[in-house]
Each structure stands twice: as C-alpha cells, then as structure tokens.
Chain A
Amino acid sequence: EPEVTQTPSHQVTQMGQEVILRCVPISNHLYFYWYRQILGQKVEFLVSFYNNEISEKSEIFDDQFSVERPDGSNFTLKIRSTKLEDSAMYFCASSGDSGLPSTDTQYFGPGTRLTVL
C-alpha cells in the first residue's frame, strides 16, 4: 500500500538554526500539506500546496516558514530560524484527485519530531 514517508524521524537543532523537513508524498497525489502537533496538544494545520503554489496557510505559517516541491517526488518544509516553540511533531500529508469534491482523504506520514534547544 502506498504511503507518505518523512525524513528525518527526529531532528535536533539549536535555536536560530535553519531546518528542512522532508516528505515524499504518495506518488499520484496532487495536494500536499504540513501540520504540526506540539506535545500533548491537537494537530494544527500549517499549509496546503497545489500546482506548485500555496493554496492555504494558517496564522502559524509566518515568514519563518516556507515550502517547496523541488522535484517530482519531494515536498519540503523549511524553518529559517528556529525558535524553542517550534519544537513539535511535524506531519506531512497528501491527497489525490478523485474528481469528486470533498471525497479525497488526506494520508499522513509518520512525522518528524523537531527538538529545538
């Protein structure tokens, strides 16, 4: 069964450093997403991406964040200057295009645990 993969599984970084989290979505999917989950809290939407551009973003997704699809398979989330409060699990998700509205399920990756020291 196809699945979303993410690397690394755990990233430790110093405050102020740049990090890039990587995701390989399911191959025939067209829509890509990043979410985060701070320990003990709910899953929060960050950004959605379609046709090589951001389609929607939350207030969390400020100028420190950027996303990119550098090639036909990877989808990355970059945090330019990490802060302590960026420590969280980051989940990538992807969904396909069934041609029907509201039916395409988002499939989530296993997550990257980001720890900012």
Chain B
Amino acid sequence: LAKTTQPISMDSYEGQEVNITCSHNNIATNDYITWYQQFPSQGPRFIIQGYKTKVTNEVASLFIPADRKSSTLSLPRVSLSDTAVYYCLVGGTNAGKSTFGDGTTLTVKP
C-alpha cells in the first residue's frame, strides 16, 4: 500500500479556504485517493474520492496532478465546525485494508 505524508497540523480562520496536501509517491496504477474527516470520539467520515484531475462535491474539492504523486484537499470557506483530523488514504480496493496515517489536525479559529 502506498505510504502517505501529510502536514501534522494546520491553522485557519473562519471563512478562509484551506488546502491540505498529501504526498503519495508510490501510488499504484489502480489506486484511488480518498479523504476522510474525523471528529474526536467519532468514526472517520468520507469526504471525497478521486483518481485524477479534479473532483468536486458539495463539501470539498480534490485536485490530483497528472503524475498522481500528490493530492490536495480543498475546503472552501471553513467554519469552526470543520475543526477535525483529515486523513488522506491511497488504495481502498474492496476487501483491502485502509491504512490511516497520522492525518492533519485542522484547527479553525474565529
């Protein structure tokens, strides 16, 4: 499974756009990139998944360059409730484990 590297922590202010970048140099051809959000004492919650280029949903956008060795999760206009740990995962085939790294702790300040 491809190893991922993310910043340990990030701070932002309400209303700002936040971009969290994840490195995955050893991503395999069949791997997808998935981002999860986790609040304290809750299960990880799916945010977005992509394979290449750009994916957008009602919550976030995911930017993946052509070489797919990194990806950037973009959260538009964050609020205090977006304070959480964000995990980037690579792989995710059925019956395969999801390997969580240390994640990025995002703190949104008023």
Q: Does B34 contact A (CB under 8 A)?
A: yes
Using a CB–CB distance below 8 Å, which chain B residues touch chain A? 30-32, 34, 36, 38, 41-46, 49, 51, 87, 91-103
The number of chain A residues touching the other chain, given as a range, is 20 to 34
Most chain A CB atoms below 10 A, which of B46, B94, B99, B102: B94
Q: Does A107 contact B (CB under 8 A)?
A: yes
Give residues of chain A (57-108) contacting chain B, Cβ–Cβ below 8 Å. 58, 89, 91, 93, 95, 97, 101-108
15 CB contacts below 8 A, A to B, read A4-B43, A42-B102, A43-B44, A45-B99, A55-B96, A97-B94, A102-B31, A102-B51, A102-B91, A103-B49, A103-B92, A108-B45, A110-B42, A110-B43, A111-B42
Cα distance A19–B34 in the bound complex, in angstroms: 32
Residues on the B chain within 8 Å of A4, using CB? 43
Most chain B CB atoms below 10 A, which of A4, A93, A109: A93
Q: Does A18 contact B (CB under 8 A)?
A: no
Cα distance A48–B95 in the bound complex, in angstroms: 6
Q: Are A50 and B94 CB-contacts (below 8 A) given A102-B30, A103-B49?
A: yes
Using a CB–CB distance below 8 Å, which chain A residues touch chain B? 4, 30-31, 33, 35, 42-45, 48, 50, 55-56, 58, 89, 91, 93, 95, 97, 101-111, 113
Residues on the B chain within 8 Å of A89, using CB? 41
Cα distance A42–B85 in the bound complex, in angstroms: 10
User: Which of A44, A56, A107, A109 is B95 in contact with, Cβ under 8 Å?
Assistant: A56
